Amino acid sequence: MTFLPYAVSAWLFLVGLFGVVRSRNLIHLVVCLSVVQASTYVLLLAVGYRHGGAAPIFADVPLGSRTVDPVVATLTLTDVVVEATVVALLLALAVQAHKRFGTLDPDQLGAMRG
Amino acid sequence: MTAVQAVALIVVAVAGTAVVFTPDPSRQAIVASVFGLSLALLFFVFQAPDVALSQITVGTVALPAMILLALAKVRRRERARNDS
Amino acid sequence: MAIAPLTVAVPLLAAGALTAVAPWVNRPIAEVVALGAALAATALSIALLVQAGDGLDIYWFGGWTPRHGIALGVSFAVDSFGAGLAALVAALMVAALIVMWRYRDTDAPHFQVLMLVFLSGMLGFCLSGDLFDMFVFFELMSVAAFALAGFKVEEEAVEGSLNFAVTNTIGSFLILTGIALVYGRTGALNLAQVGGALVGGPSDGLVVVAFALLACGFLVKAAVVPFHFWLADAYAVAPTPVCLLFAGAMSELGVYAVGRLWFDAFAPALGSHADALRAVLIVAGSLTAVVGAVMCFAQDHVKRLLAFATIAYVGLFLIGLGLLTPVGLAGAAIYIVSDGLGKAGLFASVGIVQHRLRHVSEARLRGLGRDLPFTGLLFLAGALSFASLPPFGTFLGKSLIEDGLSSAGYEWVVPILVLTSVLTSAAVLRVAAGAFLGWGTAVPRRVSALDESGSEEDAPRGRTPPSMYLPALAMILGALAVGTIPGIAESVQGAAARFADGHGYAAAVLNGTTPARPGTLPYSTAGHAYAYAAVTGLGAVAMAALALFGNRGRGSAGARLADLGERALAPLRAVHSGRVGDYVAWLVSGVAALGGALALALHPI
Amino acid sequence: MTRRGRMVLFGFGAVGLAALMAWGLAGLPSFGDFDGAYGTLLSKIAVPERQASSVVAAVTFDYRGLDTLGEEFILFAAAVGVLVLLRIQRGEEDIPAEPQHSRLPTGRSLTLRSVATALVGPVVLLGLYIVSHGHLTPGGGFQGGLVLAAGLLLAYLSGAHLRLGRARPVSAMELSEAAGAAGFALIGLGGLVFAGVFLENFLPTGTFRSLISGGTIPLANVAVGAEVMGATLLILAELLDQHLLTHGRHRR
């Protein structure tokens, strides 16, 4: 069971990419992309977890007690919020595509031949 | 690896797969909200409360809101195009 | 030594200030502020380059210097390669902002804000010495680039930037996964610290897969085959001054990042497998060069033509880097700087053509440019720089790489270098001759579907404003100048030797010892380099002439040759479908193939 | 390339990528056995040196402050990108924009409006708490900014939609976003001016577990909170604005 978190993160990575490749709707595609993104958070936090470790916040926990790794929490915390706005940018592009092409199906955009 | 963590991981995997296999974006936004909540619980179980708080506000509230609003704009334009 | 942070902070502060006063600022003020910040960044990067000189300047943010050998804070590690690339990026930004002056009515402060954030993203990426920090600046420059590529919001603009955004976002997820693996094993994020920790541990599957994922993530940004599909779409639609930056600097950063990643973080542990890695990188580079060059020659849309030329030259840079020797690295560095300036000059000239003639399709441009002799000369100079002929810096870069290839036993790659230069310069010569001299057949082989006629601006301007042709001229002269600086080959080779010295880097970062100053061996261009250049020049002229005058009549040999070429090219054209689903499928299989090859090369099972 | 061809290509790629990732992930220490020196050292020294009880906040805003500055400007650039893309589109909106006066209140159902109005106050208060206590308890500028944005979104849902008069709230949001982003960069610059090193924590670190502690960390939290709130509201307003402008017309 000790490799379950890594397996789940690899599964989310691949299933999200599967959704992106198979998608027939740009908004669906962007949400599948956010699933791929979630897999990186699961992996980062799983890597930094330590058995019996408390959260690295010493508001009520005595100093020096065993904690989880604070660095991965730092990396993930900012990334979660930032990726939300990147998804918003992709959604804005999808809405633009619909306005210009009249469809959200990525296969019908295809003005970029050759 | 406590039982709660294993369950949280399974729920996240199932929810993520559900998000991918929901073709209709409006329903997918709701499933994505559930997926965001399951991720927040997982991060909470992984002793990362800061990230759990971020994920709750982003994954459960902000992201689905943005998806639904983008859909509303697209549907509105389709309606407008059918009217004219 | 506060120059390093200011290089990145000044554009960010200017961007924040511009947005804060957005409702009350008109376009000229925004342009002046943006240009001022870009000039300041250029001056600061040049100062960094001079100061880094032959050493390595480390700047620990927040004052967190390493404690007990553990890097606490985030660091900038500025050597002459990083600072040189930063100076190139900043100079191209200044040129782009000047070209942008009369280009078209942009949404006043927001365009300049995005350009400034794009600039600091690239500068931070060049100077950073921390793995996650490189990811953050990679993401910063990508997001700004997505918005800038979609800026014109025309029909194709959206699709081009969508393909660009989705593929590069997946690239950044690959990098983040690689970082998670590295952190899981070493518990460190600083490049030097990672290098040291990896030497201690076993070089097993995790280490090589982490390198493969990180390298593939950066190679998506560099647009190496099969990750290159997004580049032609994005460059074809981005505003031309933005293309100037994309082509001149952004793609090359991907190649630079792979070099820094290998030499500083993974070479200390995996150095014994350098030969196998050399083979993989050179094959990937050659494939990219050939595909890029062939597709470049086959294009009718001038900006897509230059985009594929960019891909072709990224292939050549990867070959130079892939040699993993100071000669190869120096060749790649000089090639990057001079070719970056050359391509940027060409894109600026395309901006002039769009500004005056409204079209970017070669067929439609035929004969229109007769009263634009100066721009014609710029195109000609760009073509010569592509052909890597002696006066240009590209000649020096290519001959260095040719020497490196022959000394490393890869003579078979030299013809690929020659072929790439022939095809790309022939394409530009063909376009120039067609547009400015009216040569060539009136029968358009393939008029590109997305000719942006009329979309740039309504009435064609009578006169080219100096703010457009001066930067173009300056950049082409820059490409010329790089080749003529005395002793540049020796000093860049010395810098390349330091860039490739992972142990010296780690010592300088963690314990502050200045790296040993390697001796610079004198370099003289070998005779055969001139022979190759002559062959390239003649080949380019011959190819262009064939394309222009070949298919006179229906039945003539030239026409049959053109049809044969077109039929052979059809599958390659079909693969560049413009559909994001295809691109992601290619990306995934590319990571499996190229990533797998890199991993197996570094850890033969 | 046909869809089937694409799925076959993806199939092979996915199998290869899965194998590559499995090979890599197998080398990781098993779940829970991580003992990175960097993290343990930070947990030990962060509290005594910065008096901030949340080590995560200290690492985010002080030890690795440059990353956070970069992430913050990614958020800033994405919001400006959305603004540029959607605003240009609205400029040439093919559907005529609805005249100002006949705008119908957005939240129509009574229960929605009353619940939303009741919740606006507490949610904004919660947001302010999370931002200001970022260095003491879980939370901080990123999370608090989003909660504040959710609070103001509730104000919109409660029918008092964002008054889109001349002093458009969108420019107010743009101002708060820019002030937040530039603010954090200025704090970094302050470190350079007062303490000689960019992003140095130059303020006194105060007493442990009290509100005034951690030097510049609370200030950075407030700056990031303002920026995240402004950016999120900007994005939602752009999406809403589009929807809002023409929503009313279709009901008549």
Q: Which residues of chain B have pLDDT under 50?
A: none
Those residues whose C-beta lies under 8 Å from the C-beta of residue C412, and which sit 6 or more positions away, are none
ipTM for the whole complex: 0.92
In A24-83, the residues whose Cβ lies within 8 Å of chain D are 46-51, 55-59, 63-64, 67, 69-75, 77-82
pLDDT, tens digit, for every residue of C358-371?
778 887 788 777 88
**Residue bearing the bigger pLDDT, D249 or C508:** C508
Computed over its alpha carbons, how large is the radius of gyration of chain A? Answer: 19
Name chain B contacts of A84, Cβ cutoff 8 Å: 58, 62-63, 66
D138 and A57 within 8 Å at the Cβ level: the answer is yes
pLDDT of D251 > 70? The answer is no
pLDDT of D154 > 60? The answer is yes
- The letter for the amino acid at B13 is A
pLDDT of C565 > 90? The answer is no
Structural tokens at position C195:
């290098």
pLDDT, tens digit, for every residue of A59-108?
778 887 888 899 999 999 988 988 888 899 999 999 888 888 888 888 88
A114 in a domain, yes or no? no
**C251 in Cβ contact with C221 (< 8 Å):** yes
pLDDT, tens digit, for every residue of C217-226?
999 999 998 8
pLDDT, tens digit, for every residue of C432-459?
888 888 777 655 555 555 554 444 444 5
Domain ranges of chain D: 47-89+117-250
Hey, how many other C-beta atoms are within 10 angstroms of the C-beta on A107?
16
Cα–Cα distance, C500 to C512 (Å, whole number): 18
pLDDT tier for residue D165 given thresholds of 50, 70 and 90: very low
**What is the arithmetic mean of pLDDT over A45-55?**
89
pLDDT of D100 > 90? The answer is no
Q: With helix as H, strand as E and coil as C, how does chain D read?
A: CCHHHHHHHHHHHHHHHHHHHHHHHCCCCCCEECCCHHHHHHHHHHHHHHCCCEHHHHHHHHHCHHHHHHHHHHHHHHHHHHHHHHHHHHHCCCCCCCCCCCCCCCCCCHHHHHHHHHHHHHHHHHHHHHHHCCCCCCCCHHHHHHHHHHHHHHHHHCCCCCCCCCCCHHHHHHHHHHHHHHHHHHHHHHHHHHHCCCCCCCCCCECCCCCCECCCHHHHHHHHHHHHHHHHHHHHHHHHHHHHHHHHHHHC
The pLDDT value recorded for residue C455 is 42
D84 and C107 within 8 Å at the Cβ level: the answer is yes
The pLDDT value recorded for residue D87 is 75
Structural tokens at position D135:
């260095």
Highest mean pLDDT among B19-23, D84-88, D185-189: B19-23
What's the Cα-to-Cα distance from C409 to each of B71, C85, C284, C419, rounded to whole Å?
58, 29, 17, 19
Cα–Cα distance, C189 to C74 (Å, whole number): 9
pLDDT of D104 > 60? The answer is no
Structural tokens at position C304:
């897509």
Phi, psi of C166 (to 5 degrees): -65, -45
Q: Is residue C83 left, alpha or beta, with left meaning phi > 0 and alpha meaning psi from -120 to 50?
A: alpha
The pLDDT value recorded for residue A110 is 62
Question: What residue of D is the nearest CA neighbor of C210?
Answer: D24
pLDDT tier for residue D245 given thresholds of 50, 70 and 90: very low
Contact status of A35 with chain C (Cβ, < 8 Å): no
Q: Of A44, D111, A96, D70, which is closest to residue C139 (Cα–Cα)?
A: D70
pLDDT of C288 > 80? The answer is yes
**What is the arithmetic mean of pLDDT over C366-384?**
84
pLDDT of D242 > 60? The answer is no
Hey, how many other C-beta atoms are within 10 angstroms of the C-beta on D22?
15
Q: Of D239, A88, D182, D93, which is closest to residue C22 (Cα–Cα)?
A: D182
Cα–Cα distance, D11 to D16 (Å, whole number): 9
**How many domains does chain A divide into?**
1
3-state secondary structure of C67: strand
Question: What residue of D is the nearest CA neighbor of B83?
Answer: D250
pLDDT averaged over every residue in chain C:
87
pLDDT, tens digit, for every residue of C144-173?
999 998 877 555 677 888 999 999 999 999
3-state secondary structure of C554: coil
Contact status of C54 with chain A (Cβ, < 8 Å): no
% residues pLDDT > 70 (chain D): 82
Residue D191, min C-alpha distance to chain B (Å):
26
Instruction: Tell me the CB-side half-sphere exposure of residue D185, using CA atoms within 13 A.
Output: 27
Domain that holds residue A13: 4-108
pLDDT averaged over every residue in chain D:
80
Q: What is the CATH number of the domain that holds A32?
A: 1.10.287.3510
A113 in a domain, yes or no? no
What's the Cα-to-Cα distance from C136 to each of A102, B54, C173, D168, rounded to whole Å?
35, 18, 12, 33
**C205 in Cβ contact with D24 (< 8 Å):** yes
Structural tokens at position D34:
């991580």
Those residues whose C-beta lies under 8 Å from the C-beta of residue C458, and which sit 6 or more positions away, are none
What is the enclosing helix (H) or strand (E) of C472? helix C466-484
Structural tokens at position C70:
């553990």
Cα–Cα distance, B7 to A2 (Å, whole number): 13
Hey, how many other C-beta atoms are within 10 angstroms of the C-beta on D204?
10
Residue appearing with tokens 């008109």:
C26
Name chain D contacts of A57, Cβ cutoff 8 Å: 53-56, 137-138
**B73 in Cβ contact with B40 (< 8 Å):** no
Highest mean pLDDT among A51-55, C123-127, D194-198: C123-127
Strands (E), C110-157: none
Those residues whose C-beta lies under 8 Å from the C-beta of residue D178, and which sit 6 or more positions away, are C16, C17, C18, C19, C20, C22, D76, D227, D230
Name chain C contacts of A87, Cβ cutoff 8 Å: none
